Amino acid sequence: MTVLLLVTFLAVIVLLGYGLANAWRHVLTDKAALPLYGMLRHQGLTPIEAGDEVGVEALAYAARRCAFCGSGADCRQRVAAGEPAPANCPNTGLFARLSRPVV
Protein backbone atom coordinates (compact mmCIF):
# COMPACT_ATOMS: atom_id res chain seq x y z
CA MET A 1 0.00 0.00 0.00
CA THR A 2 2.77 2.46 0.92
CA VAL A 3 4.70 1.61 -2.25
CA LEU A 4 1.62 2.28 -4.38
CA LEU A 5 1.16 5.71 -2.77
CA LEU A 6 4.83 6.53 -3.28
CA VAL A 7 4.70 5.51 -6.95
CA THR A 8 1.53 7.56 -7.46
CA PHE A 9 3.10 10.58 -5.76
CA LEU A 10 6.24 10.29 -7.89
CA ALA A 11 4.15 9.99 -11.06
CA VAL A 12 2.29 13.18 -10.18
CA ILE A 13 5.57 14.99 -9.48
CA VAL A 14 7.02 13.85 -12.83
CA LEU A 15 3.90 14.97 -14.72
CA LEU A 16 3.90 18.36 -13.02
CA GLY A 17 7.60 18.79 -13.75
CA TYR A 18 7.09 17.89 -17.39
CA GLY A 19 4.22 20.37 -17.70
CA LEU A 20 6.25 23.15 -16.13
CA ALA A 21 9.28 22.43 -18.30
CA ASN A 22 7.11 22.36 -21.42
CA ALA A 23 5.50 25.70 -20.51
CA TRP A 24 8.87 27.34 -19.92
CA ARG A 25 10.20 25.94 -23.18
CA HIS A 26 7.21 27.44 -24.97
CA VAL A 27 7.78 30.85 -23.37
CA LEU A 28 11.54 30.91 -23.89
CA THR A 29 11.50 29.83 -27.55
CA ASP A 30 8.71 32.17 -28.69
CA LYS A 31 10.51 35.28 -29.95
CA ALA A 32 7.44 37.18 -31.22
CA ALA A 33 5.90 39.97 -29.19
CA LEU A 34 2.95 39.01 -27.05
CA PRO A 35 -0.42 39.56 -28.74
CA LEU A 36 -1.44 41.45 -25.59
CA TYR A 37 0.52 44.49 -26.74
CA GLY A 38 -1.10 44.46 -30.17
CA MET A 39 -4.52 44.22 -28.56
CA LEU A 40 -3.66 47.22 -26.38
CA ARG A 41 -2.60 49.16 -29.49
CA HIS A 42 -5.88 48.14 -31.10
CA GLN A 43 -7.63 49.89 -28.21
CA GLY A 44 -5.42 52.96 -28.63
CA LEU A 45 -3.31 52.30 -25.53
CA THR A 46 0.37 51.90 -24.81
CA PRO A 47 1.47 49.47 -22.09
CA ILE A 48 2.33 52.46 -19.89
CA GLU A 49 -1.17 53.93 -20.26
CA ALA A 50 -2.73 50.53 -19.58
CA GLY A 51 -0.54 50.12 -16.51
CA ASP A 52 -1.63 53.54 -15.26
CA GLU A 53 -5.30 52.59 -15.66
CA VAL A 54 -5.32 49.07 -14.20
CA GLY A 55 -2.04 48.96 -12.31
CA VAL A 56 1.29 47.43 -13.17
CA GLU A 57 0.54 44.23 -11.27
CA ALA A 58 -2.67 43.61 -13.25
CA LEU A 59 -0.80 44.24 -16.50
CA ALA A 60 1.99 41.85 -15.43
CA TYR A 61 -0.58 39.13 -14.69
CA ALA A 62 -2.16 39.78 -18.09
CA ALA A 63 1.23 39.41 -19.80
CA ARG A 64 1.81 36.13 -18.00
CA ARG A 65 -1.63 34.81 -18.96
CA CYS A 66 -0.91 35.81 -22.57
CA ALA A 67 2.53 34.18 -22.56
CA PHE A 68 1.17 30.87 -21.32
CA CYS A 69 -1.93 30.86 -23.53
CA GLY A 70 -1.94 28.33 -26.35
CA SER A 71 -3.68 30.64 -28.83
CA GLY A 72 -0.76 33.01 -29.48
CA ALA A 73 -0.56 32.35 -33.23
CA ASP A 74 -4.31 32.90 -33.67
CA CYS A 75 -4.16 36.12 -31.65
CA ARG A 76 -1.22 37.42 -33.68
CA GLN A 77 -3.27 36.87 -36.85
CA ARG A 78 -6.21 38.70 -35.29
CA VAL A 79 -3.99 41.62 -34.28
CA ALA A 80 -2.53 41.80 -37.80
CA ALA A 81 -6.06 41.86 -39.24
CA GLY A 82 -7.16 44.57 -36.77
CA GLU A 83 -9.70 42.30 -35.10
CA PRO A 84 -10.53 42.36 -31.38
CA ALA A 85 -9.45 39.68 -28.93
CA PRO A 86 -11.23 36.32 -29.26
CA ALA A 87 -14.00 35.51 -26.79
CA ASN A 88 -11.87 32.79 -25.17
CA CYS A 89 -8.95 35.15 -24.46
CA PRO A 90 -7.86 34.92 -20.82
CA ASN A 91 -7.51 38.72 -20.78
CA THR A 92 -11.01 39.69 -21.94
CA GLY A 93 -11.74 41.09 -18.48
CA LEU A 94 -8.70 43.35 -18.70
CA PHE A 95 -9.68 44.54 -22.18
CA ALA A 96 -13.19 45.30 -20.93
CA ARG A 97 -11.75 47.39 -18.07
CA LEU A 98 -9.58 49.25 -20.57
CA SER A 99 -12.33 49.65 -23.14
CA ARG A 100 -11.91 52.78 -25.22
CA PRO A 101 -13.30 53.73 -28.59
CA VAL A 102 -11.11 52.36 -31.37
CA VAL A 103 -9.25 55.19 -33.10
**For the residues 33-49, what does the mean pLDDT come to?**
88
- Is the model more confident about 75 or about 32? 75
pTM of the model: 0.64
pLDDT band at 87 (very low <50, low <70, confident <90, very high): confident
Check: CB of residue 85 under 8 Å from CB of residue 92: yes
Q: What pLDDT was estimated at residue 103?
A: 44
- Using DSSP's 3-state secondary structure scheme, residue 87 falls into coil
- What is the H or E stretch that residue 2 is in? helix 2-29
